[in-house]
Amino acid sequence: MKRFSFFILLLVIVYPLATFAQEASHAFRFALITDMHLKQNDPKNTETLREAVKDINTEKDLSFVLVAGDIADKGDRPTLLTAKKLFDQLDVPYYVVPGNHDTRYCRTDTTTFDSVFGYHHFAFTFQHVRFIGFNTGQGNGVNTGWVSDGEMRWIKSQLEKTDKTQPLFFVTHFPLNPSDVGNRDVFLRMVKPYNVEAILGGHYHRNVFFSEDGIPDVLTRTLQSNAVLPAGYSRIEIDHAIRFYEKKVNDNLPFLWLTLPFHAVFVQPVN
């Protein structure tokens, strides 16, 4: 009888842990595109985005797409609408945040952006991993980053829905360093108690790694092409590690440029 009681007690303790492990057991991939800089009078970047959407749709194992801002070079509504029509052709869900080019020509920071996409921040959970994207632009012609009081309150409300042990990624445009976002210390103090795996963004137009008080801050390359750089985006894989690949459009050989530890147990590897 004592052995049976011990078995029941062990089951009660272990079952919730097993449930958590099951929720976090399926590895996954997603794409991140940033700094498209579409222009009304120059179709080149629009065609690049069109080709990128087609290319992403050929990768059938992607779960979603993150868009980290600077979609329209002048932040104008017609160009943002053009971008949205292309994003809507993606076969998987996509989530966008604005960059400084999307907001700095607005009287307020996100009025035009919101009128096109319906939001300027997002939060969702996938495979028990939490993703929170938010605006770091100021509008009114200002080209430096700042997290507004309203955005801070919204982030706090999303953190209140997040378990402190849950793997958490933030998505921004600006990196969260002092030279780019003036009040980044306020943000970092707020998120310090949580299991922040990384901050994902763009803005620098190249692959760069920073550490924000111990939090990995990963900037990814621009989608745009130039004389020496073909068009490309990022493919990010999560299982027992976080792996960042640069994926050239219409090229089947992605380049692994960064690997970070992942603080959760995934038992099913990426194939």
Per-residue pLDDT, 142: 75
**Those residues with Cβ within 8 angstroms of residue 17's Cβ, 6 or more apart along the chain or in another chain:** none
What pTM was computed for the model?
0.88
Q: Mean pLDDT for each 10-residue chunk of the chain (271 residues)?
A: 39 34 67 97 96 96 97 95 98 97 81 96 97 91 88 98 96 96 97 98 97 97 93 97 97 96 66 53
Per-residue pLDDT, 178: 94
Per-residue pLDDT, 53: 98
In this structure, the number of other CB atoms found within 10 A of the CB of residue 40 comes to 13
Go through the domains of the chain in sequence order and give each one's CATH number.
2-261 (3.60.21.10)
Contacts of residues 179-187 at CB distance under 8 Å and 24 or more positions apart, as own/partner, are 180/136, 180/144, 180/145, 181/136, 181/144, 181/145, 181/146, 181/147, 182/144, 182/145, 182/146, 183/146, 183/147, 184/145, 184/147, 184/212, 186/147, 186/152, 187/147, 187/152, 187/155
